[in-house]
Chain A
Amino acid sequence: MFEAISNNPYRNLRAPRVGLRRLRPALPALIFLFVFMVVPLSSLLLLSVTKPETGLGNYISLLGDATYARVLLNTFIIAALVTLVTLVIAYPVAWLLAILPSRVSQIFFAIILLSMWTNLLARTYGWMVLLQRTGVINRALMGVGLIDQPLPLINNLAGVTIGMTYIMLPYVILPLHATISGIDPAIMQAAAITGAKPRQIFWHVMLPLSLPGIGAGCMMVFVMALGYYVTPALLGGTSNMMLAEMIAQQVQSLLNWGLGSAAAFILLAVTLVFYAIYVRAIGLGRVR
């Protein structure tokens, strides 16, 4: 009986069984994940329901208290705004990179990657120099005579959005470029010869065909933006604090480990929900 099964020429076509033996090569990674991810997360979860007292008090106050709820809402608004602005700026760039001769687009890619590899803190300080009241941008605009008073570009929503959008751009440009490059130019030519105007080709053909790239890029940016800390802390104001800042404040300044942990868990849960929605809508294979 067993002999017969093992001689079955189709046996390799069955779904492979994920036995413990097959997982052996992944063992170092699994141990790493367990020690540095599962254990700390479990202890955080424990903290969130035990400190200062046992129960769901931390979660109730986070979602019930107006101040905390505002931070949560603010986090979503900023993440959504950054995602939208990033997409609007990244799309034409990705398009241009897809149609430029490869020698030219290589140079642009080098610039984009270099900016990605530059230290985040250094880049954020760079934006502070540019955006502050007496910064380069305000002085230039006043020098030209376009404005009389310096524009409030820092320690507010504008500062956070500018700084974060800049940092997120490559994460949308790269997947979007991959998708747009994969669209057969003959499909655009076919649309044009049937009488479609460039605007119609964009809305009815190109945009729908680049949806997988848009989805992948936006998903990446939105999830990253939800948990962003350094840039909002340096470029944002107190009135639009994001969740990560609040967690740091609770843990570092107020030593309120329970509330901080609960906030971290809410962030994690929300991220997982968005990820699940994305996977359902577009499919795991498209997350590059």
Chain B
Amino acid sequence: MSAQAPLVNIRNLVKHFGSVAAVDDVSLQVGEGEFLTFLGSSGSGKTTTLFIVAGFEDPTAGDVEIDGRSVLSVKPNERNIGMVFQRYTLFPHMTVAQNVGFPLMVRRRSKAEIDKAVKEMLDLVQLGAYAGRKPSELSGGQQQRVALARALVYKPRILLMDEPLAALDKRLREDIQQEIRRIHRELGVTILYVTHDQEEALRMSDRIAVFSHGKIAQIGSGADLYERPADAFVAGFIGNSNFLQGSVVQSQQDQVAVRLDDGTVIRGNTRHPLAANARVRLMIRPERLALAPSNDQVDQSLDVTLSDTTYLGDMLQHEVVTAWQQRITVRTNDRAAASSAGNALKLHFASTDVMVFEDGNRATA
């Protein structure tokens, strides 16, 4: 994000439903033109935060500023924000063109101006030929593209999207993801996007805010979250991961040595200083692991037994078991490493690929 003042500034937002804190002290800034995704499982507070920005929910505490001014007292229809919803929300009694023209009609623009803008928008979402149709005559993907056109036709600076593709099948979803990316580039509109799909978040966003239990667990680029997760929750939520238990032998700045339960000592990295003997969890991505015959000499390794190999086309996925019966997943495209089940192997990995986290009590989703 640039040094200029943020377009959207969410400060210490709290929202209680009864005794439940749906949003629990969320703060974040969104830069002009940024594509920011709220990623989290259901009930993590991502949608509630979005609805507070839209003005459909009032926060229990905290503030939402747009352009440096609090919008909490501004009604949704006066916030000049665009929004695409998870459910199909086109007006069923209006044609596609009337739906897209609706925001301009309620702004009392001239018919000529509305017609021109509607045509432009329908061309943008590649549905120019469908202007006269009713929403019920469109597929789900087409309806969401019309909804996108309707949300953009009045040129809002901020576009909110609440899981707009959740109801669509995978192929269609990927097509529309690309289309949304293209429209974001062409129009430069600031997008706040909610999804529970980490792949979607990684594919589309400039930055991702990972929500958990009403709080932001981590906010950063996809690479930040994948390579440098803040805690075990984010590490488990983004991408595939293997977790091992151990206790700290020695910790020096970001370097840490951990003794596993069977006595093996493994070196890894940590973002926070760790006390000696602290219980920790080690995380290694499946694709950062390699397998070698058990008599090979390697830098850092674990003795394992191969239990299963799955052919995934572009990759092989091996399930291996440690001496203390913990299963570990290995993904590799090294076909030479193929071996038969039951063989003793060495699992080896670089210390920079081992991430060590304090063993909190938080679930790893």
Known: A189-B76, A190-B147, A204-B106. Is A195-B154 also a contact (CB below 8 A)? Answer: yes
Q: How far is the CA of A193 from the CA of B55 in the complex (A)?
A: 8
Q: How far is the CA of A187 from the CA of B84 in the complex (A)?
A: 11
Minimum CB–CB distance from B90 to chain A (whole Å) comes to 8
Are A193 and B87 in contact, with the CB atoms below 8 A?
Answer: no
Are B77 and A195 in contact, with the CB atoms below 8 A?
Answer: yes
Minimum CB–CB distance from B76 to chain A (whole Å) comes to 5
Known: A184-B87, A190-B89. Is A196-B102 also a contact (CB below 8 A)? Answer: yes
Known: A193-B76, A195-B154, A204-B106. Is A186-B87 also a contact (CB below 8 A)? Answer: yes
Residues of chain A within 8 A of B151, CB atoms compared: 193-194
Known: A195-B80, A196-B77. Is A190-B85 also a contact (CB below 8 A)? Answer: yes
Are A186 and B107 in contact, with the CB atoms below 8 A?
Answer: no
Contact indicator per residue, chain A 174-201, by CB within 8 Å of chain B (1) or not (0): 0000000000101101111111111010
- Interface residue tally of chain B, by bracket? 20 to 34
Please, which residue of chain A has its CB at the minimum distance from the CB of B91?
A205
Q: How far is the CA of A200 from the CA of B87 in the complex (A)?
A: 22
Residues of chain B within 8 A of A101, CB atoms compared: none
Residues of chain A within 8 A of B82, CB atoms compared: 193-194
Please, which residue of chain B has its CB at the minimum distance from the CB of A199?
B106
Minimum CB–CB distance from B160 to chain A (whole Å) comes to 8
Residues of chain B within 8 A of A193, CB atoms compared: 54-56, 76-77, 79, 81-83, 151, 160
Residue A28, interface by CB 8 Å: no
Interface residues in A184-232 by Cβ distance below 8 A to B read 184, 186-187, 189-198, 200, 204-205, 208-209
Residues of chain A within 8 A of B87, CB atoms compared: 184, 186
Interface residues in A51-99 by Cβ distance below 8 A to B read none
Known: A189-B56, A189-B76, A190-B147. Is A195-B106 also a contact (CB below 8 A)? Answer: yes
Q: How far is the CA of A187 from the CA of B89 in the complex (A)?
A: 5
Please, which residue of chain A has its CB at the minimum distance from the CB of B78?
A195
Please, which residue of chain A has its CB at the minimum distance from the CB of B154?
A195
Residues of chain B within 8 A of A186, CB atoms compared: 85-87, 89
Residues of chain A within 8 A of B154, CB atoms compared: 194-195
Residues of chain A within 8 A of B106, CB atoms compared: 194-197, 200, 204
Residues of chain A within 8 A of B75, CB atoms compared: 192
Residues of chain A within 8 A of B91, CB atoms compared: 187, 191, 204-205, 208-209
Residue B150, interface by CB 8 Å: yes
Residues of chain A within 8 A of B150, CB atoms compared: 190, 194
Residue B103, interface by CB 8 Å: yes
Contact indicator per residue, chain B 100-113, by CB within 8 Å of chain A (1) or not (0): 00110111000000
Are B107 and A189 in contact, with the CB atoms below 8 A?
Answer: no
Residues of chain B within 8 A of A200, CB atoms compared: 106
Q: How far is the CA of A191 from the CA of B105 in the complex (A)?
A: 12
Are A189 and B89 in contact, with the CB atoms below 8 A?
Answer: yes
Residue B93, interface by CB 8 Å: yes
Are B93 and A208 in contact, with the CB atoms below 8 A?
Answer: yes
Interface residues in A117-136 by Cβ distance below 8 A to B read none
Q: How far is the CA of A47 from the CA of B313 in the complex (A)?
A: 88
Residues of chain A within 8 A of B102, CB atoms compared: 191, 194, 196, 204
Residues of chain B within 8 A of A209, CB atoms compared: 91-93
Q: How far is the CA of A193 from the CA of B159 in the complex (A)?
A: 10
Interface residues in B57-103 by Cβ distance below 8 A to A read 75-83, 85-87, 89, 91-93, 102-103
Interface residues in B260-314 by Cβ distance below 8 A to A read none
Q: How far is the CA of A189 from the CA of B85 in the complex (A)?
A: 9
Q: How far is the CA of A208 from the CA of B151 in the complex (A)?
A: 21
Residues of chain B within 8 A of A205, CB atoms compared: 91
Q: How far is the CA of A193 from the CA of B83 in the complex (A)?
A: 7
Minimum CB–CB distance from A240 to chain B (whole Å) comes to 38
| Most chain B C-beta atoms within 10 Å of own C-beta, residue among A190, A200, A209 | A190
Are A192 and B76 in contact, with the CB atoms below 8 A?
Answer: yes
Please, which residue of chain A has its CB at the minimum distance from the CB of B147?
A190
Q: How far is the CA of A123 from the CA of B79 in the complex (A)?
A: 51
Residues of chain B within 8 A of A187, CB atoms compared: 89, 91
Minimum CB–CB distance from B74 to chain A (whole Å) comes to 12
Known: A187-B91, A189-B76, A190-B147. Is A195-B103 also a contact (CB below 8 A)? Answer: yes
Q: How far is the CA of A46 from the CA of B151 in the complex (A)?
A: 65
Q: How far is the CA of A193 from the CA of B56 in the complex (A)?
A: 9
Are B89 and A184 in contact, with the CB atoms below 8 A?
Answer: yes
Please, which residue of chain A has its CB at the minimum distance from the CB of B106?
A196
Residues of chain B within 8 A of A198, CB atoms compared: 77
Top-3 shortest CB links A-B:
A190-B89, A194-B103, A196-B106
Measuring CB to CB, which residues of chain B are less than 8 angstroms from any residue of chain A?
A: 54-56, 75-83, 85-87, 89, 91-93, 102-103, 105-107, 147, 150-151, 154, 160
Measuring CB to CB, which residues of chain A are less than 8 angstroms from any residue of chain B?
A: 184, 186-187, 189-198, 200, 204-205, 208-209
A sample of 11 inter-chain contacts (CB < 8 A) reads A184-B89, A186-B86, A190-B85, A192-B76, A193-B82, A194-B102, A194-B154, A195-B80, A195-B154, A198-B77, A208-B93
